[in-house]
Structure 1
Amino acid sequence: MTVTDQETGKFEYPIKKVNVNYDVEAIGNRYRKLYTGLVYDAMESIGVKGRAMNSGIYPLLHTMKVAGPAFTMHGIATPSRDVKTHNIRLGLMKSMTPGCVQIRDTQGDLSCGQFGEISATAAAAVGCVGAVIDGSTRDSNYLIDMGFPTFCRFRNPVEAFGRFMIVDYQIPIFVKGIDSNILVNPGDYVFGDNDGVVIVPLEKTIEILEIAEGWFESEGRSRKAMADGRDPFEVYEEFGRF
């Protein structure tokens, strides 16, 4: 299925949706009760290593969390002002599903703000619940005031048009990772908080959640036991989390 320009009928943008086999809203609510360090540890416990974006990717506001299946977007630095290519966003907006999280690569471009308030407003209108930009944002105060969870590396007031452009979406992309670049596929689970962003492989979304939830409960009991004055070694022996 495609979106066709209504005036010329000459170009089309494919609609590319990823369907997951779980309740996106319910799973998102469960993930948001956790924290990224715990989810990262859960992945490492089953041999899924290095799935954290590297240092410097943080929310605009420390209380922001983001959780949902990845809607991937591939961008490049370009001076092009070709409207037809720029309007690829028509297709990508039609492809977003409720509860998804935009994640944009930028190829290391530093020239402009690659995400802003108008993009966030349009995304939220089709059910997107947040954005992770492996680059920069602008309109930061507007994004904060509208409560749209946005993660980025830096902020930049410069307009992207004529400097940077999204050229494809819902394809595998690379983002900067803690050990090396992370391959992010459409539908992989994106989870971020004030410590950064982790990427859970699509097929591990529920397994990792359940491991992390179990540890979260044990940590709560451990925390209370130590606050009550119990010996830390005894607490660790009983609950297995310290």
Structure 2
Amino acid sequence: MEVITNSYPIRKFEVSYDWQEIQTRYLRLYAGLVSDALEHMGYHQQCMASGIYPLTHTMKVAGPAFTAHGIATPSRDTKVHDIRLGMFKSMVPGVVQIRDTQGDLSCGHFGEISATAAAAHGCVGAVIDGSTRDSNYLIDMGFPTFCRFRNPVEAFGRFMVVDYQIPIFVKGMSGLLQVNPGDYIFGDNDGVVVVPQELTIPVLELAEEWFASESQSRKAMATGRDPFDVYKEFGRF
């Protein structure tokens, strides 16, 4: 449902699952395993390009995508600026904000005040295909934030979010990777994986199955058992 309020639309959406339960289950996993599950299902290009990492190595993020589309612009038009402010009203609990930046290098695209506003509206993390600023504040507040670089320069007058909850493109491993609102975002210290919305549960269930097998395989390998026997028994190595 879309409602136009002032100069910005309200685009609320609902997922068909208990977001807290699914998030808890995903957070037990790791990005490599989620990527492997997608590969097994025939999806070979679902990881963001190398270089997108959390501000600290322990940060992990999991949740349906709340997309934001930004462009480089010198504009200081307050009506356009209101779009960024208004988008927080469309956020629902459990979402992960993911921003494209069109490769802009001019400024910090996401900071602590944006994170504070997003968190207050239910957002559980951010993936910025560009830069952050206020990094120490983001770390201290414990808001999982992934980015490509850091830049202290103010975005206003250089870069602006102009739309949200629409399909966007981010840098993928072999070109552009499309992210749709509601796709499941999972990230850890190895990078970020984008799970198509309809595969959120199937990928989770397969990854959990493999996670259990890997745990058994790991224990068996640690005892010095023959690797061939271990692989034959558990199927993961």
TM-score per shorter chain, which class? over 0.9
Distance 1:185 1:126 in 2: 20
Whole-angstrom distance in 2 between the partners of 1:100 and 1:107? 22
For the pair 1:40 / 2:22, whether they are aligned, the reply is no
1:3 Cα shift? Answer: 5.8
- The question of whether the paired residues in 2 share the 8 Å contact of 1:76 and 1:164 is answered with yes
For 1:140-155, list aligned pairs within 5 A: 140-155=135-150
Tell me which amino acid in the other structure corresponds to 1:51.
Q
Alignment TM-score, normalising by the size of structure 1? 0.96
User: In 2, distance between residues paired with 1:215 and 1:112?
Assistant: 41
Matched, 1:59 2:54: yes
Which has the higher mean CA deviation after the structures are superposed, 169-178 or 221-230? 221-230
AA matched with 2:24: N
Question: In structure 1, which of residues 161, 165, 174 is the aligned counterpart of residue 160 of structure 2?
Answer: 165
Contact in 2 for aligned 1:3/1:90 (Cα 8 Å)? no
- Equivalent residue for 1:228? 223
Secondary structure of residue in 1 paired with 2:35: helix
TM-fit CA distance, 1:104: 0.1
* Match 1:95 to one of 90, 113, 116: 90
Tell me what 1:115 maps to.
110
Question: What's the offset of the Cα at 1:86?
Answer: 0.3
Match of 1:30 in 2: 25
Structure 1 unpaired stretches of 5+: 5-10
Query: How far did 1:48 drift?
Result: 1.1
SS at structure 1 position matched to 2:154: coil
Q: Which amino acid aligns with 2:208?
A: E
Which string of whole-angstrom CA distances, capped at 9 and with x for unpartnered residues, describes residues 107-157 of structure 1? Answer: 000000000000000000011000000000000000000000000000000
How far apart are the structure 2 equivalents of 1:186 and 1:17? 11
The equivalent position to 2:236 in structure 1, one of 221, 232, 241, is 241
1:189 and 2:175 aligned: no
- Number of residue pairs matched? 236
- Equivalent pair of 2:7/2:82 in contact (CA under 8 Å): no
Segments of 4+ moved more than 4 angstroms: none
The letter of the residue matching 2:87 is L
